[in-house]
Structure 1
Amino acid sequence: MAALIEMREIVKIYPNGVVANDGVNFSVDRGEIHALVGENGAGKSTLMKILYGMERPTGGEILLDGQPVHFHSSNDAIAAGVGMVHQNFMLVPSFTVAENIVLGQEPLRNGLLDQAEALRVTRELSQQYGLRVEPEAVVDSINVGMRQRVEILKTLYRGAQVLILDEPTAVLTPQETQELFAAVRKLVDQGKTVIFITHKLREVKEISNRVTVMRSGKVMGVVQTEDATRESLARMMVGRDVFLQVNKPPVTRGKKVLEVHNLSYVSETGRTMLHNVSFNVYGGEVLGIAGVEGNGQTELAETLSGLRPAATGTASVNGKAILNTNPRTVRLSGVAHIPEDRLTNGLALTASIDENLIVDRYFRPPFHRGLFIDYKVVEKQSADLIQEYGIRTPNGKLPVKSLSGGNMQKVIVAREFTSDPALLIAAQPTRGIDVGATEFVRDQLVKQRTDGKAVLLISADLSEVMSLSDRIIVMYEGEITGVFPDAASVSEEELGLYMLGIKRQTKEEMEAVL
């Protein structure tokens, strides 16, 4: 039987000469869940953008049901039954769920949106495909899991027979992930076909029928999922053995480094995002903060690092107050920060790699002599760090924006880890980077802990929090809802209940172990 989708000898060469796809052959059978995996820069996103009409191939052809197709835009792809749910949701926050689903193809009555019909269609789709939503809820008020379901329903409303899901579980709890998987299986049972892009190899094993692995713009292999292991897939992706388990040697907990007491933060719109948050972080430990994104973790990291003002409370590093100062003062107090948004807060994109590696220390010896920066010293340190941290670049003089996402993250990690911090705040440290770079960053975080540093880890990847942390705190709606003194003794499912606000410890229970 002919494949539903065939992409033959796809080539994509960008004007700057970068070859993103190099003769790629990719096929998907009708009614299967096909996983597409590969490192950042492997070419999988470009390939899917070509399939969805967002990019035009330099060469090759696409066949849909055996017939050649030419997609000049995503509208062409949607009209042909190909839909894509992006990792970054494309919803209008102030619109209701129903309004978002029908947006652009609204049912009309007397020339205006027929609200009743929009609600009816939304409820019907929700029931048909097992994707639970609240049609009348404003999108800004619903959780991440429901927003994703809205995106999928929006695509189905437009008649998609093939769904491309880009990193769909990146911000979901274990319970929401299982709910999504159940919905995906139901979609396939009803005749849909799913392409599943993910970095999580455990999920590849759980949800897919076949796997295509890409590396350096080429297909490294196509395997039946049942015949593959996580280790074999990682080896195909990276080209070497990858150790997926974190090796975390025992360490004796040291003195209290970070002390936070009754910290609150109010946004510019007047919304309280942090409510009386209190905790400590000790030297020689990783304290992990688990929670669905949007529950105050971002505000916590940025308040502690000097990027946002606190409304109330205190925070100190080795006894020195750090709240409501500025990033330089916080850094000089012994705090390093791997920010959640590397492009906005982590890097000066037009500056060189060399300059980004010293942006926190250029004003101090040995980099600063008299009125000038000693660029020979800068270049020497940069060359050493590029080699030590495996930053793939011909030299440090190139603008940092020329690097891949994984290598940008390595620049930040190299700078922050070599600042000799007392406290390292690591917010989403492995987001959007490949398996090899993830392994490296996690090993470096463990090394900081082993060297006696205090590490505050904030990650939407629950398995990452559990594997790296010694203790875990769960946040929900800006509050701490649970404290677990031994990360190894709690399950993902249990943490998920706290992340969703279903379970909550009493204040006395939390204080007893904080």
Structure 2
Amino acid sequence: MKGISKYFGSFCALDQVDLEVQKGTVHALLGENGAGKSTLMNVLYGLYQAEEGQILINGKPAQITSPNKAIELGIGMVHQHFMLVEPFTVAQNIILGSEKTGALGTIDTKAVRQEILELSEKYGLLVDPDEKIEDISVGMQQRVEILKALYRGVDILILDEPTAVLTPQEIHELIEIMHKLVADGKTIIIITHKLGEIKQSSDWCTIIRRGQYIDTVKVSDTTEEELASKMVGRAVNLHIEKGEAHPGEEIFRIEGLTVSDSRGIDKVKNLSLSVRRGEILGVAGIDGNGQKELVEAITNLVKAKGGTISILGQEIQNTTPLNTINHKISTIPEDRHKHGLVLDFTVAENMVLENYHKAPFSKKGVLQLGAINKFAKELIEKFDVRPTGCEGQLARGLSGGNQQKVIIGREVTNDPDLLIAVQPTRGLDVGAIEYVHRSLVEQRDKGKAVLLISLELDEVIDLSDRIAIIYDGSIVDVIDAKGADENEIGLKMAGGGK
């Protein structure tokens, strides 16, 4: 890609960016949230058209006017926000647009199912072809997206934050898959904020900052610290700094909680845990072990089958999401699009979603837009949401990481007694992760209770004061985070070591 420029109105998202990728390599694309990484790859995949610049594939100029044209040229893309049809099955999503039909135009579902099972087994991305997308976890949806691209037999595979929702074991497996693909002559471009993963997976790394090309480096010749400073333009602390916790009274308690999914299968089974004021309790577990249903029950998005959920001694189970908010429980949800934002509302409107009916945002039932915009401007500046001055922009126009900052800013500013953070750093760059971690520790140090649910085991160990290990819908152990052994926790997460 040579001299690629892309504008959205008067905003310059990409300014004369170059990218040169060698065949048969893993090439990382690194940059802060809103730096233009996904935009650059969306140009390569034909979702956007650049105002300036040229794309060459195997040395030949290519006009990529649509994703179909990109696929024809052997380019596939797995997006950060999944492009899946929720009521369809896994198999239907994987073959969508590439259906192989018989003489009468019918699809041989048995053959398709077998092909998908073979493909998923070959690459260790095991999925159930008959499950509906709306019934599977975010981690499983990620696997479907990867399989969807592999099913099309692409030569160049773009992965946009592919490991954001995977466990350490799954990340290791994916890196092995990437190396297998490269050994087969495929070329992979990976957008990731995880510097350790770049070191493990990639041959080369191109850094872009605020829409401009900064550098391309050989990964084996650089360090994580050097990559981080090139990315954000300053030195970054890659380690979580926190003092001793001083836990106080118990704020939050769950006793004997049982929650079923939409099919009536128990996903949370007789689960009990408690969180105290001034501590971070981390929940460590492999995706799909009841974390999603646990959070939905706490936030009253689903009804619990049995058990109690109490905050400061008051039971809140089986009431309403508004009652949860009114009891000073704030949530950073796992799925920012489904449960965190109204994408077609402005950034400012999203900032006051839970408080729009209160002063100073509302007066006699009329929204006070001046007060809303003033509040949003302050939060945008405080939480470094980019581009600055975006309070009037639709939320869907922000990058994934900046959407996450909007949610975190709103929830932390609500001054909760309990802050539930579910995958809070998913898709964020190291600078933003540093900020989020600092925000969670600040909440703890202000005497708030923090319940952290993350699939990033490193994050749980580094950030938590105590760790609750969840397996098959139950808490199998609660340990002190000090001196916690990653392998021992990983064993218990997988149902062993009891």
Given candidates 121, 125, 138, the residue that maps to 2:130 is: 138
From the superposition, tell whether residues 183 and 491 of structure 1 become closer, same or farther in structure 2 (CA, over 3 Å).
farther
Task: Give the TM-score, by structure 2 length.
Answer: 0.87
The reply on whether 1:86 has 2:86 as its aligned counterpart is no
Q: Is the partner of 1:307 in helix, strand or coil?
A: coil
Higher relative contact order (CA 8 A, sep 6+): 2
Q: 1:52 aligns with which of 45, 48, 58?
A: 45
Pick aligned residue for 1:266 from 236, 260, 263: 260
Q: Give the equivalent residue in structure 1 for 2:460.
A: 465
Structure 2 distance, partners of 1:103, 1:422, is: 48
Does residue 161 of structure 1 match 2:191? no
Gaps of 5+ in 2: none
Aligned to 1:509: none
Alpha-carbon distance in structure 2 between the residues aligned to 1:146 and 1:215 = 31
Kindly report which structure 2 residues correspond to 1:221-260, keeping only aligned pairs within 5 A, or say none: 221-260=215-254
Q: Is 1:449 aligned to residue 441 of structure 2?
A: no
Residues in 1 aligned to 2:419 and 2:127: alpha-carbon distance in whole angstroms: 42
Question: Measured at CA, do residues 312 and 461 of structure 1 come closer, stay the same or move farther in structure 2, by a change above 3 Å?
Answer: same
Shift of 1:317: 1.0
SS state of the match for residue 108, structure 1?
Answer: coil
Larger of the two Rg values belongs to structure: 1
Q: How does 1:194-205 map to 2 (within 5 A)?
A: 194-205=188-199
Residue number among 24, 29, 33 corresponding to 1:36 in the alignment: 29
Following superposition, the deviation at residue 29 of structure 1 comes to 0.6
User: Following TM superposition, by how much is the alpha carbon of 1:267 offset from its aligned partner in structure 2, in angstroms?
Assistant: 3.8
Assess, with a 3 A threshold, how the Cα gap between structure 1 residues 187 and 375 changes in structure 2: closer, same or farther.
closer
For the 8 Å contact 2:124–2:173, the answer to whether it is kept is: no
1:436 aligns with 2:431: yes
Give the unaligned 5+ runs of structure 1: 1-6, 506-514
Aligned residues with identical type, % of pairs: 43
How far 1:137 sits from its partner (Å)?
A: 4.6
**Deviation for aligned residue 1:298:** 2.7
| 1:91-170 equivalent positions in 2, closer than 5 A | 95=89, 97=91, 100=94, 104-106=98-100, 108=102, 112-114=106-108, 117-118=111-112, 121-122=115-116, 125=119, 130-132=122-124, 137-140=129-132, 151-170=145-164
Provide closer, same or farther for how the CA distance between residues 239 and 302 of structure 1 changes in structure 2, counting only shifts above 3 A. Answer: same
Counterpart amino acid of 1:132? G
Moved more, 441-450 or 300-309: 300-309
| Separation (CA, whole Å) in 1 of partners of 2:315 and 2:366 | 31
Match of 2:322 in 1: 328
Q: 1:270 to 1:125 in 2, by over 3 A?
A: closer
1:398 paired with 2:378, answer no
8 Å contact 1:175–1:493 — kept in the other structure?
A: no
Find the aligned partners of 1:252 and 1:146 in 2 and give their Cα distance: 38
* Cα pair 1:426 1:455 within 8 Å, conserved: yes
**Separation of aligned partners in 2, 1:329 and 1:481:** 26
Distance 1:423 1:135 in 2: 35
Residue number among 163, 173, 178 corresponding to 2:172 in the alignment: 178
Please, which of 382, 403, 409 is the counterpart of residue 404 of structure 2?
Answer: 409
| Aligned counterpart, 2:476 | 482
Instruction: Give me the TM-score of the superposition, normalised by structure 1.
Output: 0.84
Distance change (3 Å), C-alpha of 1:178 and 1:89: farther
> CA 1:491 to 1:325, structure 2 compared with 1: closer, same or farther past 3 Å?
same
Separation in 2 of the partners of 1:399 and 1:445?
27
Q: Which residue in 2 is equivalent to 1:72?
A: 65
CA distance in 2, matches of 1:358, 1:146: 32
The Cα shift of 1:96 comes to 6.3
Give how far 1:313 is off. 1.2
The CA deviation at 1:385 is 4.2
Q: How many residues align?
A: 494
Q: Are the counterparts in 1 of residues 268 and 474 from structure 2 also a CA contact under 8 Å?
A: no
CA pair 274-434 structure 1, distance change in 2 beyond 3 A: same
Distance 1:391 1:168 in 2: 23
Distance in 1 of aligned mates of 2:335 and 2:86: 21
Task: Tell me the alpha carbon deviations over residues 284-316 of structure 1, each in whole angstroms, 9 at most, x when there is no partner.
Answer: 111112234443323322322233332221111
Which deviates further from its counterpart, 285-294 or 247-256? 285-294
